[in-house]
């Protein structure tokens, strides 16, 4: 390996949400949380150097996406996703979550329904509810092969005339599905039949595990004129704190509406350090990303074999993308509060409660596997030991 994916990084006293929001009994104990979706790895050194150079330049003025930034973004989409982006499609926002709220306000009115497939990343619910719109859930079907879209249900919900927008998570957090071209084409057809656009949140687009292929929603001819694609360097290169995302809106009429609402919300700047970071990541970061993906894949494999062999009462969904593992702990027979208390007090593990992602997440936990393998092993061993004491 050319890059370092083994060193433990001390993130205490950096204001990291992941650490400061730990439950009291675990806070300050040296335990590494498995919660918030950022990584326990340093960003690529090429990115760190570019940001340090910009810091030393010292003139932290207002900066935008023009020139080298736009070229780097287009280069990445073309080389990594075989997707040709036109210059005027790009609208920058200060995060994908911000873009979700902008889209909800741009394309719907108060009281309208917004369709989501659940369980899903919790700010999807917030973006709808906090803007006075109505959440319309189409639950994903749990099958023996993992999660599938229940197209019958999706079609029925989409046909409700009050549904005016769909928020799609592609790849899907927390269940790790990378949607196939066929699945995406069916979603595109349902949206156009019912005359509402689709916001495709593709923030995990680069985190595709071996064997998988990510399809950009807007690369489908049937979807291109009816969607917004949200991307960022944040998940891919561990740069979430730079608050910068690249939103593509190929259709001019949708773009006008989206840009107007984004402008009203104060979007437009690329934060000063995000500009050199994005340029470096998208022009020099491919090798780092390939190594990261092999590390994350190795972590998933370790988790699958450990759980199969040593904690067979649990089930892990086999992820095709993201660095997030979705673990079914329902067989432990605990209710929601008992499971939380057991994990914190007995296992001393800080992970994400599945109900954050909707009621279908009851009995499930989400673990962030973007961390040194040794830390994952420690957590698996702690979990095994705590479960063994239950069986005594």
Ligand X SMILES: Cc1ncc(COP(=O)(O)O)c(C=O)c1O
| Residue sitting closest to ligand X (CB) | 95
Q: Does 358 bind ligand X (CB under 6 A)?
A: no
Identify the residue among 77, 200, 226, 234 touching ligand X (CB under 6 A).
234
Q: Does 361 bind ligand X (CB under 6 A)?
A: no
Whole-number Cα distances in Å, 285 to 71, 144, 309 = 15, 37, 36
Quote the least distance from Cβ 234 to ligand X, whole Å.
5
Complex with ligand X: residue 267 or 386, whichever CB lies closer:
267
Q: Does 203 bind ligand X (CB under 6 A)?
A: yes
Complex with ligand X: residue 173 or 259, whichever CB lies closer:
173
Instruction: Name the one residue in this structure whose structure tokens are 């997707």.
Output: 83
Question: Cβ distance 220 to 184 under 8 Å?
Answer: yes
Number of residues that bind ligand X (CB under 6 A): 13
Complex with ligand X: residue 37 or 293, whichever CB lies closer:
37
Binding to ligand X in span 90-119, by CB under 6 A: 95-97
Distance in angstroms (rounded) separating the CA atoms of residues 368 and 352: 9
Quote the least distance from Cβ 278 to ligand X, whole Å.
13
Question: Cβ distance 345 to 25 under 8 Å?
Answer: yes
Q: Does 77 bind ligand X (CB under 6 A)?
A: no
Whole-number Cα distances in Å, 294 to 5, 23, 128, 307, 319 = 10, 31, 36, 20, 14
Peptide bond into 171 cis (omega under 30): yes
Q: Which of 88, 121, 160 is nearest to 361 (CA)?
A: 121
Q: Does 300 bind ligand X (CB under 6 A)?
A: no
Q: Does 37 bind ligand X (CB under 6 A)?
A: yes
Instruction: Name the one residue in this structure whose structure tokens are 């599945």.
Output: 354
Q: Does 149 bind ligand X (CB under 6 A)?
A: no
Complex with ligand X: residue 83 or 124, whichever CB lies closer:
124
For residue 210, the number of C-alpha atoms closer than 13 Å in the C-beta half-sphere is: 12
Identify the residue among 232, 343, 350, 386 touching ligand X (CB under 6 A).
232
Strand 364-368 relative to strand 245-248, pairing: unpaired
Instruction: Name the one residue in this structure whose structure tokens are 């400061």.
Output: 20
Distance in angstroms (rounded) separating the CA atoms of residues 202 and 254: 18
Q: Does 201 bind ligand X (CB under 6 A)?
A: yes
* One character per residue 116-135, x = contact with ligand X (rule: CB under 6 A): -----x--------------
Quote the least distance from Cβ 232 to ligand X, whole Å.
5
Instruction: Name the one residue in this structure whose structure tokens are 């399809």.
Output: 215
Identify the residue among 35, 173, 231, 238 touching ligand X (CB under 6 A).
173
Q: Does 200 bind ligand X (CB under 6 A)?
A: no
Complex with ligand X: residue 51 or 311, whichever CB lies closer:
51
Q: Does 240 bind ligand X (CB under 6 A)?
A: yes
Instruction: Name the one residue in this structure whose structure tokens are 């730079």.
Output: 242
Peptide bond into 262 cis (omega under 30): no
Rule CB under 6 A: which residues touch ligand X? 37, 95-97, 121, 169, 173, 201, 203, 232, 234, 240, 245
């Amino acid at each position: 390996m050319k890059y370092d994916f083994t060193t433990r990084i001390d993130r205490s006293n950096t204001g990291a949400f992941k650490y400061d929001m730990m439950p009291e009994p675990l806070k300050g104990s040296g335990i590494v949380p498995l919660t918030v979706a950022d990584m326990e790895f340093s960003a690529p050194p090429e990115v760190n150097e570019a940001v340090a150079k910009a810091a030393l330049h010292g003139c932290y003025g207002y900066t935008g996406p023009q020139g080298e930034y736009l070229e780097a973004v287009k280069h990445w989409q073309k080389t990594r996703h075989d997707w040709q982006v036109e210059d005027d499609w790009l609208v920058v926002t200060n995060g994908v979550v911000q873009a979700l709220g902008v889209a909800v306000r741009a394309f719907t009115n108060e009281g309208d329904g917004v369709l989501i497939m659940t369980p899903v990343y919790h700010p999807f619910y917030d973006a709808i509810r906090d803007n006075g719109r109505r959440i319309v859930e189409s639950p994903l079907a749990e099958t023996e092969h993992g999660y599938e879209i229940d197209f019958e249900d999706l079609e029925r919900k989409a046909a409700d005339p009050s549904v005016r927008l769909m928020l799609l998570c592609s790849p899907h957090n927390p269940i790790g599905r990378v949607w196939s071209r066929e699945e995406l084409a069916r979603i595109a057809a349902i949206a156009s039949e019912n005359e509402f656009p689709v916001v495709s949140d593709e923030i995990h687009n680069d985190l595709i595990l071996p064997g998988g292929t990510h399809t950009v929603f807007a690369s489908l001819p049937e979807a291109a004129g009816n969607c917004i694609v949200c991307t960022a360097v944040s998940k891919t290169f561990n740069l979430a704190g730079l608050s910068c995302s690249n939103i593509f809106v190929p259709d001019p009429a949708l773009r006008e509406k989206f840009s107007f609402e984004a402008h009203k919300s104060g979007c437009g700047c690329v934060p000063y350090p995000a500009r050199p970071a994005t340029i470096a990541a998208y022009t020099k970061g491919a090798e780092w990303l390939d190594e990261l993906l092999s590390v994350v894949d190795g972590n998933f494999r370790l988790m699958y074999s450990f759980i199969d062999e040593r904690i067979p009462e649990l089930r892990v969904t086999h992820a095709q993308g993201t660095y997030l593992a979705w673990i079914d702990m329902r067989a432990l027979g605990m209710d929601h509060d008992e499971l939380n208390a057991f994990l914190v007090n007995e296992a001393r593990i800080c992970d994400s409660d599945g109900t954050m992602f909707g009621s279908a997440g009851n009995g499930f936990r989400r673990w962030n596997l973007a961390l040194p393998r040794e830390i994952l092993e420690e957590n698996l061993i702690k979990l095994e030991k705590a479960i063994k004491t239950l069986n005594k």
